[in-house]
Structure formats: structure tokens, C-alpha cells
Amino acid sequence: MTSAREIDLRDSSSHPTGFWAEEALKPYERFVEAGADVVVMTPDGKPPVADPYGLDPIFHYPDKDRDFFASVYRTFHHDPDDIRITLHNTTEQELMAGRRIAGRLVDSGKSSAEAHEIVSRAAKIAWAQDRLLVDVMLAEGLDGGLSEESLRGAVQELVADSQAKSDERKAKLDAIEGFRSPLALSDLSDEQLAEFDAVFAPGGHGPMVDFPENEDIGRLLGILHAKNAPIASLCHGPAMLLSAPERADGQWLFEGFRLTSFTDEEEDQNKLGMLGIPWYLDAALRNAGAVFDDAPYPWASHVVVDRNLITGQQPNSTDAAATATLKALNL
């Protein structure tokens, strides 16, 4: 894990950073539940800190709400290449409250199919015209008989549940001993590194600070790759691959490997990207020699497995990346 706490922006100002809470906690819990002995390490042994941005409730929508929204936006176009869902759509247009609104429509007498159709029609208008979902439902006669109070109450309910989930995850992270007192990768010998069966690196912008061109990360990657052990990373975690040593032929260790990471398009949509990050991970991996493989549209769950390399695109890929890692370990 990264122990970085700040990242320098293009204008030379610094901004708080760290690891992404969901990307660290979910895989950690999955690995422990599967019976793995999980060791938390940072390059220098300093405790990792959660990126404050990643604790915003907009990044902690319950999975049921995310899944319902996915079923809604797939009705926008038949061709997924024509669907451009941005971070703005999911966090600032109330679209994620669709499941809660549909539930209230069902309670009022609509069938599940009717409720889904009403929400989908309103969501498509909101998405296309950059309007709030509830405002569209009220103005366009798509309220399904629900009052404004009921519609806005559904949004408030989602926000409250998301804040509660963020608080819960922060408390769980704070309670994990390995996160409070990680090992220092720099202190471990090659023999000790060879004892590991796999490595998993979560994201957040922190890895862009202390993962690239790190000799100790390079040692770890070289040793694990030599024994074909799973090397997994998520979102900005693949920045660690930029520390990989050269092969005997002088090429980058992962030259020609298919992989993914947080994309340049997604970077430009998040707060830090809009402030001006110093470099782009997607472009850096391509320049290093990777065959970049991203989802058909941004923010879709996407995991790429090529030989022993496992990479996930962004936070929505967290569960799938953890599952792929466990599968590679036969757990």
C-alpha cells in the first residue's frame, strides 16, 4: 500500500491523498475470509492513510443501488459504446437514487417493470440534459404519482445510507492492525519476499507518488514474476508496475502484457484530475510497453488477466479484481 499523504499538482501546489478506502478494505476482507495470511506493507513502513476524497459518501453507495443504476443506464442505448456515464452523472444528478424511487413507486401500486420504466425514462432525460433526476420527474410528468417530498426523501435516504457505509468502512480500516503498523518493504530481504504467494496493490492517487521507480517494489515484482506468482493491482495501484525491472532482453518486465488501470478519461472527470495531476497512469503504462485494455465506457467494472498479471480499472472493479486474485491463488 502507498504511504503517501500528498501529491503535487501541475501548479506546484500539494493536495491530500492516500489509498482508496473501498479498494483496500473490500479485498482485504475477502482475502482474510478465504483463509489467506495477509501482510500489509508500505514502501517505507509508514502507516497508510485513507484519501479524504475517497471517504466522501458519493463513493460509498450500497451495491444494490449501484446495480440498479447499471440496469437503468443500459436502457439508454443498445450499443454500450454510445453510453458515456461520467462521475458527474453518478454523483451529482441523483441518478443513483433510482432504486429507492422505484421501490416507492412499487409501494404505491406500480409493478416492478412499470417502476423501472418510469425511472429509466426520467434518468435518460436527466443524463442527456444534465438535470437532477427528481427535478425531471416532477417537471416532465414522470413522478408516477409520488409527491415531491417522497422523491426527495428517497435521495436523502441514499445520502444517509452512503454516509453510514463510509463511516463504517473508515472504522473497519482503523481497526486493522496491519494498517496501523505495516511492514516496511524496504526492510525485507529477497529471501523474505520470495515467501509471498501474491501481491495486491489497491489504488487512490497515493501510488502515483511512491510506487513508480521504487527499487524495493521492483525487487518484489521481479521475484514474484520469476515464480509466476499473481501480481494484482487496482485503479492507480498499477503504478507499481512502473518499478518493474527489465527482462534479460532489455525490455520492461511487462512488455506486451494486456492490462488496465484508471484511465485518462476517468482521471479528467475526478476532482484531482480536474485540478491538474502531474502525469497520467494510463498513458505512462502504454508508453512503458503495455497493451492497454479498458472497458467500453468509463466507470464500468473491468478486470484484465494476462498470465500472472491481474489489473482492475477503477473502484467499481474492486470485487472483480479481488475475485480474480483469489481464483489465481485457488482460494
> Does position 17 have pLDDT exceeding 90, yes or no?
yes
pLDDT at 83 over 90: no
Per-residue pLDDT, 184: 98
Q: Report pLDDT for 11.
A: 82
- Kindly tell me if the per-residue pLDDT of 12 is higher than 80: no
The pLDDT tens digits for 156-213 are 999 999 999 999 999 999 999 999 999 999 999 999 999 999 999 999 999 999 999 9
User: In the prediction, which pLDDT does 81 show?
Assistant: 66
Residue 77: per-residue pLDDT: 80
CB 272 within 8 A of CB 287: no
pLDDT at residue 80, rounded to an integer = 63
144 three-state secondary structure? coil
Measured at the CA of 267, the angle between CA 22 and CA 216, to 5 degrees, comes to: 65
* Percentage with pLDDT > 90 across the chain: 92
Euclidean distance between CA atoms 291 and 259, whole angstroms: 6
Residue 119 has pLDDT above 90, yes or no: yes
pLDDT of 204 reads 97
Over residues 250-279, the pLDDT tens digits come to 999 999 999 999 999 999 999 999 999 999
Q: What is the average per-residue pLDDT within 59-71?
A: 94
Strands 14-16 and 6-8: antiparallel
Residue 59 pLDDT grade (very low, low, confident, very high; cuts 50, 70, 90):
very high
Spatial contact of 55 and 166, defined as CB atoms under 8 Å apart: yes
Q: Which domains, from first to last, does the chain contain?
A: 6-48+182-328 (3.40.50.880), 58-168 (no CATH)
Mean pLDDT (the chain) is 96
Q: Using alpha carbons, list the distances in angstroms from residue 303 to 9, 14, 155, 324.
A: 28, 31, 31, 8
Taken as a whole, the chain contains a residue count of 331
Q: Half-sphere exposure of 97 toward its Cβ, with a 13 Å CA cutoff?
A: 26
The per-residue pLDDT for range 210-227, each reduced to its tens digit, is 999 999 999 999 999 999
pLDDT of residue 311: 98
Q: Is the pLDDT of residue 61 over 80?
A: yes
| pLDDT tens, position by position, 282-299 | 999 999 999 999 998 888
Compute CA distances 93 → 69, 207, 256, 297, 300, whole Å. 12, 30, 40, 18, 18
> Which residue carries 443506464 as its cell?
73
pLDDT at residue 138 is higher than 80: yes
pTM: 0.93
Comparing 6-20, 39-53, 137-151, 303-317, which segment has the lowest mean pLDDT? Answer: 6-20
Residue 300, pLDDT score: 87
What is the average per-residue pLDDT within 138-149? 98
* List of residues 6+ apart from 238 with CB closer than 8 A: 201, 259, 260, 261, 281, 285, 311
Mean pLDDT of 112-131: 97
